[in-house]
Structure 1
Amino acid sequence: MILKLMMVITLFMAVFISSIAVQAADKHKQGVEIHRVSPYRIARDIRDIKGKKRAIVLYASWCPNCVQKMPQIIDIERARAGSIIAISVDESRQDFTRYMNKLDDVPFKAIVIDGPEWKLAKELKRFDVEVWEAIPHIILLDENNKTVEQGNFSTKYIAGFLGIPLS
């Protein structure tokens, strides 16, 4: 009985300490804001900002191609602030926070969908976005939030669409 109680207490302490570490990492990581946002609010916020071309980047910390592209996506955002809307489909906040902490000075708000990926797909239909089958998935929007193209584009192609020269 005492052994079971000690195991429960140990497990509780491990979970408690782990959650404190994640919260501390979120607070101490400079330049990175991590926000869990509902699919409805993501679509509403995209709709409310018009006037310039943008790229919506759907990615995850566990996706090797996403991880490979992210430094160049960050470079694009640094070259033209507000040109990238990065939305993570990560389900684990801890994994996502760990991933973001490995990146240097992320210049955009890190958004994680708060809900299932299919709800985000449903909300993004407002912009004529087709359901994606894989990530990374990039959606190129014109100045009026109309989808121009979508797919897994090279960062050079994304930068070209946005009118940003990449070195």
Structure 2
Amino acid sequence: MIEVTFVNKKGQKVLNSVEVEHDLKINADFEYVNDISSSITQKNIMVFDCKLDHRVFNFEDIEEEFYEELGIDEEYLQVFFEDITNYVKDISEDVEQELRDEYKFDGIKVHAQVYDLDENFTDVKFVFIISFKDIPRKQLVDLTRVVAKRQLEGSSKYFN
């Protein structure tokens, strides 16, 4: 757990990552949310390891021999992956707006990146970064990539 401090229209506000984690867990699209904010050294930035509910995207496992017969190729799978990443991006934009509205602070920025995905597109893991400080969007995207890569390396080291 970490605490962030920012000044909104009502004055100084202190918010801890447990509160935000709780709010994210309420989202019906998330199977789990884990606060990993203490894993980075940047101030006023929260980080969450998340997994989409397996029912969000239902993709049946198809034997490779049927790919050609059904007309499914790598392009189709790429489009499906892009759909998932766009969905996660939409969630991050929605959460960003909700947090801005709730805390009356326009400086909140949210970015997410998928870091692990199974062949059935049902096990979708991603990192979710929420910044409460003035940070360029590109820098937030770069930080998200680094955390996502670290999560992937950690999960493959211990779970695969």
> Quick one: higher RCO (CA 8 Å, sep 6+), 1 or 2?
1
What TM-score comes out, normalization by structure 2 length?
0.24
What TM-score comes out, normalization by structure 1 length?
0.23
Q: Greater strand percent: which structure?
A: 2
User: Radius of gyration: which is bigger?
Assistant: 1
